[in-house]
């Protein structure tokens, strides 16, 4: 859909007029997406390395997902979880086929924050404890419960007293972790790769220590795979990078892994754009929650379930996990060839890639969008984050890398 320049300005003005004001807005109007591309209202084509912040992993408007949604919309869109439903049951079976061993129960909801809220409630009930250990630079969402675990002071401080008592430890610091966990800890929450915190992968030693220490103290281990799940890191789940070399741990058939979590939270890519989240857990955790102890109107609705089934099936059919690992390695290799004094470090796991600069990344991200039609996102003020769909082509990656090299060379914010 191409609009006139004045219509584009109208859209921006109207949106700004009524908007909550909490977002810093870009000055383009996105109207269409397909695969790794989006188009603005002027018909300009962009390579999208944001995809809704790691949502459209199977590509924008993936035809299989679109068809599933269309068919389901014409059949049944709502059905409370008190009534069994064919699509929900099929979704559970599909998700269970890719879940790590031990995670056999599912609470479907509508977003990442909701999955985290569920995780915190279940953890408190399952352990009878109220304290949490979370990570510095960690991000768990914006609702008051999830916010208690979100580290960045600017996200928490305006809102006064939070819901959960939380100790924050330095990410990947084993000593601090050991000192923070005790007999009052309900759970430790870890993102296997910190996304908002600047694309920082957890070390295998840290994840294994977290598992051992939580077991020792009777606390739960929660992996927040909201950003890292569904192939983003080149494996189904980001924490699988820390599996022992001989651990298959790719499906419910494996067992005995040293880092099996008690709870894993999912959202973002699970529904390819239809709001969908899930909190997955062991039988032991699920069995402690009383009937009626938690619930949601929309969670598990057939429309979202249909999108979830189509997403997982598409990923399996097209080997997107292997593709993500291969393309991620290629992307990293090409980026690493850029010779610029402005680069501090490049960190990556599969197709979550962070290029940390020695200065603020905003002017470079702006130039990528404006001058090269590439969408990428910040993660902390100095990190350029690339979250392309797992269906991006090598030629598109080459275009992105060329553009990154060009902006690093040509943009000079200091004048
Ligand atoms: C790791 C992580 N946890 C939780 C959330 C919150 O998810 P949502 O925005 O769907 O509430 C996010 C969102 O970016 C996230 O990256």
* Cα(190) to centroid(ligand 1), Å: 13
Considering the domain architecture, whether residues 165 and 247 belong to the same structural domain is answered as: yes
Residue 325 domain-assigned?
yes
* pLDDT band with cut points at 50, 70 and 90 for residue 161: confident
* Cα(112) to centroid(ligand 1), Å: 5
Considering the domain architecture, whether residues 105 and 177 belong to the same structural domain is answered as: yes
Considering the domain architecture, whether residues 81 and 167 belong to the same structural domain is answered as: yes
Ligand 1 atom showing the smallest separation from residue 194 Cα: 1
Query: Of 292, 317, 342, which closes a domain?
Result: 317
Higher pLDDT, 3 or 343: 343
Question: Where is 394: in which H helix or E strand?
Answer: helix 394-410
Among left, alpha and beta (phi > 0; psi -120 to 50; other), residue 161 is beta
What is the per-residue burial (b if ≥16 Cβ within 10 Å, else e) of 375-402? Answer: bbbbbbebbbbbbbbbbbeeebbebbbe
Residue 271 domain-assigned?
yes
* Cα(402) to centroid(ligand 1), Å: 30
CATH number of the domain that 366 lies in? 3.90.1150.10
Considering the domain architecture, whether residues 31 and 91 belong to the same structural domain is answered as: no
Partners of 60 in the β-ladder? 35
Residue 415 domain-assigned?
no
Residue with the nearest Cα to atom 7 of ligand 1? 112
pLDDT at res. 277:
98
Ligand 1 atom showing the smallest separation from residue 191 Cα: 1
Considering the domain architecture, whether residues 260 and 140 belong to the same structural domain is answered as: yes
Mutate to test the pocket of ligand 1, among 202, 226, 266, 275 (most ligand atoms within 8 A of CB): 226
Partners of 144 in the β-ladder? none
* pLDDT band with cut points at 50, 70 and 90 for residue 245: low
Considering the domain architecture, whether residues 87 and 38 belong to the same structural domain is answered as: no
Q: Give the pair of three-digit tokens for residue 333.
A: 């290799």
* Cα(226) to centroid(ligand 1), Å: 6
> How many whole angstroms separate alpha carbon 117 and alpha carbon 28?
34
Ligand 1 atom showing the smallest separation from residue 53 Cα: 14
pTM above 0.85, yes or no: yes
Considering the domain architecture, whether residues 80 and 135 belong to the same structural domain is answered as: yes
Considering the domain architecture, whether residues 262 and 136 belong to the same structural domain is answered as: yes
Considering the domain architecture, whether residues 163 and 174 belong to the same structural domain is answered as: yes
Residue 315 sits at φ, ψ, to 5 deg, of: -60, -40
Neighbours of 61 (CB within 10 A): 16
Residue 48 domain-assigned?
yes
Considering the domain architecture, whether residues 255 and 382 belong to the same structural domain is answered as: no
pLDDT at res. 19:
95
The pLDDT mean for the chain works out to 94
Residue with the nearest Cα to atom 8 of ligand 1? 112
> How many whole angstroms separate alpha carbon 369 and alpha carbon 367?
5
What's the sign of the alpha-carbon dihedral 112, 327, 245, 318? positive
> How many whole angstroms separate alpha carbon 232 and alpha carbon 95?
16
Query: Of 267, 299, 317, which closes a domain?
Result: 317
Neighbours of 294 (CB within 10 A): 16
Give residue-wise pLDDT tens across range 177-187.
999 999 999 99
* Cα(323) to centroid(ligand 1), Å: 24
What is the per-residue burial (b if ≥16 Cβ within 10 Å, else e) of 135-165? Answer: bebbbbbbbbbbbbbbbeeeebeeeeebebe
Residue 68 domain-assigned?
no
* pLDDT band with cut points at 50, 70 and 90 for residue 243: confident
If one counts the domains in the chain, the total is 2
Residue 70 domain-assigned?
no
Residue 71 domain-assigned?
no
Range of the domain at 91: 76-317
Q: Calculate mean pLDDT across residues 119-146.
A: 97
Mutate to test the pocket of ligand 1, among 140, 152, 199 (most ligand atoms within 8 A of CB): 140
CATH number of the domain that 254 lies in? 3.40.640.10
pLDDT at res. 242:
84
Considering the domain architecture, whether residues 324 and 232 belong to the same structural domain is answered as: no
Mutate to test the pocket of ligand 1, among 146, 151, 267, 279 (most ligand atoms within 8 A of CB): 267
Residue with the nearest Cα to atom 10 of ligand 1? 112
Residue 123 has pLDDT above 50, yes or no: yes
Residue 250 has pLDDT above 70, yes or no: no
Query: Of 297, 317, 337, which closes a domain?
Result: 317
Residue 259 has pLDDT above 90, yes or no: no
Collapse the DSSP code of 100 into the 3-class scheme (helix H, G, I; strand E, B; otherwise coil) and give the result: coil
Residue recorded with tokens 């080149």 = 234
Considering the domain architecture, whether residues 327 and 254 belong to the same structural domain is answered as: no
Give residue-wise pLDDT tens across range 44-60.
999 999 999 999 999 99
Give residue-wise pLDDT tens across range 280-302.
999 999 999 999 999 999 999 99
Residue 201 domain-assigned?
yes
């Amino acid at each position: 859909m191409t609009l006139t320049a004045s219509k584009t300005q109208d859209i921006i003005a109207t949106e700004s007029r009524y908007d909550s004001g909490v977002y810093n807005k870009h000055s383009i109007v996105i109207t269409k997406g397909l695969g790794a591309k989006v188009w603005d209202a002027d018909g300009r084509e962009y390579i999208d390395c944001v995809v809704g912040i790691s949502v459209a992993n199977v590509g924008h408007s993936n035809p299989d997902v679109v068809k599933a949604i269309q068919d389901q919309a014409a059949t049944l869109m709502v059905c409370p979880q008190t009534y069994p439903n064919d699509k929900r049951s099929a979704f559970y079976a599909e998700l269970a086929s890719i879940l790590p061993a031990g995670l056999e129960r599912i609470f479907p909801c509508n977003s990442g924050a909701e999955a985290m809220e569920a995780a915190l409630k279940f953890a408190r009930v399952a352990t009878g404890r109220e304290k949490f250990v979370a990570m510095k630079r960690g991000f768990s969402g914006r609702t008051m419960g999830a916010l208690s675990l979100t580290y960045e002071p600017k996200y928490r401080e305006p809102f006064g007293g939070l819901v959960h008592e939380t100790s924050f430890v330095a990410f990947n610091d084993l000593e601090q972790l050991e000192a923070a966990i005790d007999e009052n800890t309900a759970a430790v929450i870890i993102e296997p790769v910190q996304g908002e915190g600047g694309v920082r992968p957890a070390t295998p030693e840290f994840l294994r220590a977290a598992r051992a220490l939580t077991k020792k103290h009777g606390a739960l281990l929660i992996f927040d795979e909201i950003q890292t799940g569904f192939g983003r890191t080149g494996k189904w789940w980001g924490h699988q990078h820390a599996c022992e070399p001989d651990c298959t741990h790719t499906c419910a058939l494996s067992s005995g892994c040293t880092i099996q979590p008690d709870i894993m939270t999912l959202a973002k890519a699970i529904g390819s754009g239809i709001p969908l989240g899930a909190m997955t857990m062991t039988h032991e955790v699920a069995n402690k929650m009383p009937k009626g102890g938690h619930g949601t109107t929309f969670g598990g609705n057939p429309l979202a379930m249909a999108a979830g089934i189509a997403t997982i099936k598409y990923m399996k059919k097209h080997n997107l996990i292997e593709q993500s690992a291969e393309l991620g390695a290629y992307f990293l290799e090409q980026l690493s060839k850029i010779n610029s004094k402005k680069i501090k470090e490049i960190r990556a796991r599969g197709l979550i890639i962070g290029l940390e600069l020695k200065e603020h990344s905003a002017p470079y991200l702006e130039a990528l969008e404006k001058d090269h039609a590439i969408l990428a996102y910040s993660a902390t003020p100095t990190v350029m984050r690339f979250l392309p769909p797992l269906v991006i082509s090598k030629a598109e990656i080459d275009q992105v890398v060329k553009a990154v090299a060009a902006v690093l060379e040509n943009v000079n914010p200091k004048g």
